[in-house]
Amino acid sequence: MNNKQYLLANVLLVIFLTAIAAYFRYSSLPLHCNYQVSYNLPCHTCGISRDLSQFLHLNFSTPINPHSYWLFAFGVLFFISRILHSAIAYYHPQHLKKLLITDAVLIIIYPLVVI
């Protein structure tokens, strides 16, 4: 992967994450869990979509799913890291290999620490 491809991938990820955040922030569509509708039992991810929407409205007091905090924190950190890594890759392209290794390590380690 060269520097331009890395920057393009990061720009696309930032746009994608921004679109997801905008959907959760401004959408008034109700979100339903297909598993709960089908089996009348909550799944392990029930409530995360509602919680993320509430977090984007800066309401951190009433999460349905306790894993929502970690998922939201990961999303925020991932979003910030994309911007920082893009800036580093743009201004210091000689560090691209180190950035790719750092990305891979962080993406692998974070879920292990959270779970």
Closest CA relative to residue 42, chosen from 9, 24, 60, 66: 66
Closest CA relative to residue 33, chosen from 41, 22, 21: 41
Number of helices (H) and strands (E), helices first, in the chain? 5, 0
Q: How confident is the model at residue 79 (pLDDT cuts 50, 70, 90)?
A: confident
> Which pTM does this prediction carry?
0.69
With tokens 């520097």, the residue in question is: 3
Q: What is the per-residue burial (b if ≥16 Cβ within 10 Å, else e) of 89-114?
A: beeeeeebeebeeebeeeeeeeeeee
Task: Please tell me the least confidently modeled range out of 44-48, 68-72, 76-80, 107-111.
Answer: 107-111
Q: Per the structure, how many domains does the chain have?
A: 1
Give yes or no for residue 62 having a pLDDT over 70: yes
Domain span at residue 74 reads 3-114
What is the arithmetic mean of pLDDT over 52-66?
Answer: 87
What is the arithmetic mean of pLDDT over 51-62?
Answer: 87
Q: How confident is the model at residue 114 (pLDDT cuts 50, 70, 90)?
A: low
Query: What pLDDT digit, counting tens, does each position of 9-46 carry?
Result: 888 888 998 898 888 888 877 777 788 888 988 888 88
